[in-house]
Amino acid sequence: MRAQTMKVLVEFAWTLSEKVGRKYVWLDVKAEELNLQELFSRILPSILGEDLGKALNELFLNKEVFVVVNGVIAKDLAVKVKDGDKVFLQPIASGG
Amino acid sequence: MVQHKLYAYAGRILWIDLTSKSYSTTDTPSDLVKNYIGARGFGTKILWDQLRPGTDPLGPDNKIVFSVGPLAATGIQSASRFFVTFKSPLTGGYFRSVGGGQFGAEMKLAGYDAIVIGGRAEKPTYLWIHDDVVEFKDASHVWGAMTTHASEHLIEETDCNAKLVVIGPAGERLVNYASIQTNDNRSAARGGGGAVMGSKNLKAVVIKGSKKPEVFDREELNRLIKEQLDVYMKNPAFEGFRQLGTNGIIYLFYTLGHFPTYNFRQAELENVDVFRPENLLPYVVKRGGCYACAMGCWQFFRAVKGPFAGIIWDKPEYETQCTLGSLIGITQREAIMYANMLCDLYGLDTISTGVTIAFAYELYEKGILTRREVDGLDLRWGDPEPVIELIRKIALREGVGNVLAEGVKRAAEIIGRGAERYAMHVKGLELAAYDPRAAKAHGLNLATSNIGASHMYGWSAPEIIGFPEKVDPLTAEGKGALCKRLQDEMALYEAAGICQFPMSSGMVPLDLLSKMLYAATGVEEFKKLEYLIALGERIVNLERAFNVREGFSRKDDVLPERFLREPYPRAPARGQVFELDKLLDEYYAARGWDLKTGVPTRNKLEELGLKDVANELERLGKHIT
């Protein structure tokens, strides 16, 4: 039986889009779901390059970046991402 | 009571009577200092003491109080905000509005912790306050002038280094949401302080001072300033503020379910990408900041295309990008910049102006207002041209603008025909750019705030940005206590005169604030965190008591029906409504207020040292349990 492929949209905003060199990337992952830990440590480095992937991972661990999954700020790296989900990344900002 | 030396404070309150053109000063009482710190705390206490219930907000008996905190002009960062307290013509209740720039520090340097202005001048007047001298000057030549034009004149004829607050044509014409502007493009915009000044024939207050405040422990304070700067630099939000201020969060907040659209009816906006931070950054041509604030969150935008190309103005903030933009379906950034500039020039609150115009657009769409009734304008969603015209009409109270100048609550009453269903306000104050269904403690703050639907009364950082702890924004449980805590904290920080931006991002932790207050003032009580937290709660309770005295109760702690009945239309809050009764019960319980009436109990008031307030409410026949 073939593993299911999931499609996830990852958006990069503001300075992250400059660092990454694009505003978004569509991921095709052979899995039914994955968590943010896998997204940052494995999937993104494989697409954006090892260094950039690691840098994003560190930004998240240092709470320097918002990671928003389907409109909800992710609590931790265990948050699940499924087919059709949208992950939005932006440097921390505030105000209102 | 023996008056001890006050460190960090100017030590004086200036009392001005415009009717008799007279003034006096009194020492800043030490019990006022200990119980209310300064700034918002001073304004609240003075307004409570000075106003009788039923005072006409636009009558000579209303007072307008300008106040600053003890940390103003001491070198502490982000601590020189000025607070304006008055009875609001929009809400009929207590109001505090807040402004930045240089005016607050200059008040302190001139030697005043608060300036209390009452009465009504016979003819247009401005006050020229330079240190101990107070002059009542004729303002006839700038009456009718735009805020910037008037500022230039008044600075030229007083002192080129003076600072001022000024009203525009909207304030003169008593537009209920007229703003107070400074000569450095800041606003104390909300609640109609500009109309209160206009009702007093007061065009401006120009101020210049030369007295540096003496602090209790300068060496320690300098060390704490360094510590504060260190916290700033290490905070991840710091650079975001410097780069783009509140424009850094528009797209993010849209993603999180805020940044409402089409008069709060929808949550979707076509072309919302124009508000992505990387798409806004190229507009920045100049930066700036308030007195002694390393954060420097001012950015000036330059319009680059279309009919407004070439204008350079202070950027529309997050709120304004929504109220003059998405709420009307507008995404043309240059048009929003221009509308924002017009509001500043006429002296209008951009939030209330935008919400009122969005209200008019929806009434027009529904056929409640006909084209003839809106002076022939075609109010089609997404079209900015009528917005530009309506701003002028509102400011000058011309045609339909005369009705809209009342604010949505009163305008709906005048229009009738079911218009109130589309009037988005709480207690008469137009709603800020958040959806209460997408963050329940924040919605509860909007419903219960003593000044109406202000986001700046208890901004729910834990729900909105997940700071300092992440809280599920959609659950109702625990939100009463959370809302209370946030409102009390905000009141405390504002009593110290601290800006909410660094505060809500964790750049001024409570223990640091406490140390700074003690090093500046030497007041022993300020060393105790629990004392400070109770002080914030005292202020909120006194504000509530002011409103109770005016007849407010649980019936006024409501949200527009739209949020109570219509499910939120998209992720992440799809299907959510605002559970008002449940949330209010929890909030009143957390506050120790009567569940049926929303009035503070005698026990609570006495616990906070407000026995005299409880007695006064009882004397007036208010039912307190």
Helices (H) and strands (E) in chain B, counts: 26, 17
Question: pLDDT-based confidence at A3, cuts 50/70/90?
Answer: low
- State residue A75's pLDDT score: 87
pLDDT in tens, B198-255: 999 999 999 999 999 999 999 999 999 999 999 999 998 999 999 999 999 999 999 9
pLDDT in tens, B117-166: 999 999 999 999 999 999 999 999 999 999 999 999 999 999 999 999 99
Dihedral, B559, B316, B394, B147 alpha carbons, nearest 10: 130
CATH of B12-208, one of 3.40.50.620, 3.40.190.10, 3.60.9.10, 3.40.50.740: 3.60.9.10
B252, B322, B323, B457, best to mutate vs chain A, most A CBs in 10 Å:
B252
d(CA B217, CA B141): 47
Burial of residue B414 (CB within 10 Å: 0-12, 13-18, 19+) is exposed
Q: Do A62 and B236 touch (CB under 8 A)?
A: yes
Residue B546's nearest CA partner among B596, B605, B476, B459 is: B605
- State residue B1's pLDDT score: 46
Provide the mean pLDDT of chain B: 97
When divided into structural domains, chain A yields a total of 1
Establish whether the linkage from the previous residue to B468 is cis, with ω within 30° of 0.
yes
Q: Quick one: closest CA in B to A66, which residue?
A: B465
- State residue A54's pLDDT score: 83
Structural domain contains residue A24: yes
pLDDT in tens, B381-390: 999 999 999 9
Question: Which part of chain B has CATH 1.10.569.10?
Answer: 235-430
Does B292 contact A at CB distance below 8 Å?
no
d(CA B168, CA B154): 13
| CATH number attached to the domain at B235-430 | 1.10.569.10
Does B264 contact A at CB distance below 8 Å?
no
Which of B243, B255, B459 is the closest to A68 by Cβ? B255
Between A46 and B89, the more confident residue is B89
Q: Do B319 and A96 touch (CB under 8 A)?
A: yes
Residue B78's nearest CA partner among B543, B449, B506, B456 is: B506
Within 8 A by CB and 6+ apart from B527, the residues are: B514, B515, B518
In the sheet that holds B114-118, the strands lie side by side as B22-27, B12-17, B114-118, B64-67, B82-87, B94-99
B395-408 mean pLDDT:
98
- State residue A61's pLDDT score: 84
Residue B264's nearest CA partner among B184, B362, B330 is: B362
The minimum CA-CA distance between B594 and chain A, rounded to whole Å, is 32
- Residue B420 in tokens: 């109130």
- State residue A1's pLDDT score: 53
Sign of the torsion angle spanned by Cα atoms B233, B228, A93, B573 = positive
- State residue A57's pLDDT score: 84
Question: Which part of chain B has CATH 1.10.599.10?
Answer: 436-496+528-596
B479-483 mean pLDDT:
98
Rg from Cα positions in chain B: 23
Dihedral, B323, B324, B329, B334 alpha carbons, nearest 10: -140
Contact B83, B508 (CB under 8 A): no
A21-37 mean pLDDT:
92
B401-408 mean pLDDT:
98
pLDDT in tens, A46-67: 999 888 888 888 888 888 899 9
Which of B433, B470, B505 is the closest to A73 by Cβ? B470
The minimum CA-CA distance between A1 and chain B, rounded to whole Å, is 34
- State residue A2's pLDDT score: 58
Q: Which of B234-238, B311-315, B430-434 is the least confident region? A: B234-238
- State residue B5's pLDDT score: 87
d(CA B185, CA B224): 30
- State residue B3's pLDDT score: 53
d(CA B501, CA B350): 19
Q: What is the DSSP-derived secondary structure letter of residue B369? A: S
* Residue numbers in B near A90 (CB within 8 A): 251-252, 277
B233, B246, B249, best to mutate vs chain A, most A CBs in 10 Å:
B249
Q: Do A90 and B245 touch (CB under 8 A)?
A: no
pLDDT in tens, B18-65: 999 999 999 999 999 999 999 999 999 999 999 999 999 999 999 999
Share of chain A above pLDDT 90, in %: 56
Judge whether residue B507 has pLDDT over 50: yes
- Long-range pairs for B422-425 at CB < 8 Å and ≥24 separation? B422/B263, B422/B359, B422/B362, B422/B363, B422/B366, B422/B368, B423/B359, B423/B560, B424/B263, B424/B264, B424/B355, B424/B358, B424/B359, B424/B453, B424/B560, B424/B562, B425/B355, B425/B452, B425/B453, B425/B560
* Residue numbers in B near A71 (CB within 8 A): 255-257, 571-573
pLDDT in tens, B244-293: 999 999 999 999 999 999 999 999 999 999 999 999 999 999 999 999 99
Q: Quick one: closest CA in A to B237, which residue?
A: A93
The minimum CA-CA distance between A96 and chain B, rounded to whole Å, is 6
Does A3 contact B at CB distance below 8 Å?
no
Instruction: Please name the amino acid found at residue B514.
Output: S
Share of chain B above pLDDT 70, in %: 100
Which of A13, A64, A96 is the closest to B246 by Cβ? A96
B553-561 mean pLDDT:
98
What are the backbone dihedrals phi and psi of residue B490, each rounded to the nearest 5 degrees, phi first?
A: -60, -45
Q: Do A95 and B297 touch (CB under 8 A)?
A: yes
Residue B164 pairs in a beta bridge with B206
Residues of the domain holding A17: 5-91
Q: Do A17 and B433 touch (CB under 8 A)?
A: no
Structural domain contains residue A96: no
Q: Do A90 and B277 touch (CB under 8 A)?
A: yes
Q: What is the DSSP string of B28-71?
A: PPHHHHHHH-SHHHHHHHHHHHHPPTT--TTSTT--EEEE--TT
d(CA B245, CA B13): 34
The minimum CA-CA distance between B39 and chain A, rounded to whole Å, is 21
CATH of B436-496+528-596, one of 1.10.599.10, 3.40.50.300, 3.10.105.10, 3.90.1150.10: 1.10.599.10
Q: Is the ipTM, as predicted for this complex, more than 0.85?
A: yes
Share of chain B above pLDDT 90, in %: 98
Q: Where are the alpha helices (DSSP H) in B158-304?
A: 169-172, 193-199, 218-234, 236-244, 250-255, 277-280
Q: CA end-to-end span of chain B, whole Å? A: 32
Q: Do B434 and A72 touch (CB under 8 A)?
A: no
Question: pLDDT-based confidence at B572, cuts 50/70/90?
Answer: very high
Judge whether residue B415 has pLDDT over 90: yes
Q: Quick one: closest CA in A to B297, which residue?
A: A95
Q: Do A95 and B318 touch (CB under 8 A)?
A: yes
- State residue A4's pLDDT score: 84
d(CA A36, CA A65): 13
Residue A54's nearest CA partner among A43, A40, A68 is: A40
The minimum CA-CA distance between B318 and chain A, rounded to whole Å, is 6
Does A91 contact B at CB distance below 8 Å?
yes
- State residue A58's pLDDT score: 87
Does A96 contact B at CB distance below 8 Å?
yes
Chain mean position to CA B49: 22
Structural domain contains residue A50: yes
Does B248 contact A at CB distance below 8 Å?
yes
Three-class DSSP category at B600: strand
Contact B534, B54 (CB under 8 A): no
* Residue numbers in A near B257 (CB within 8 A): 71
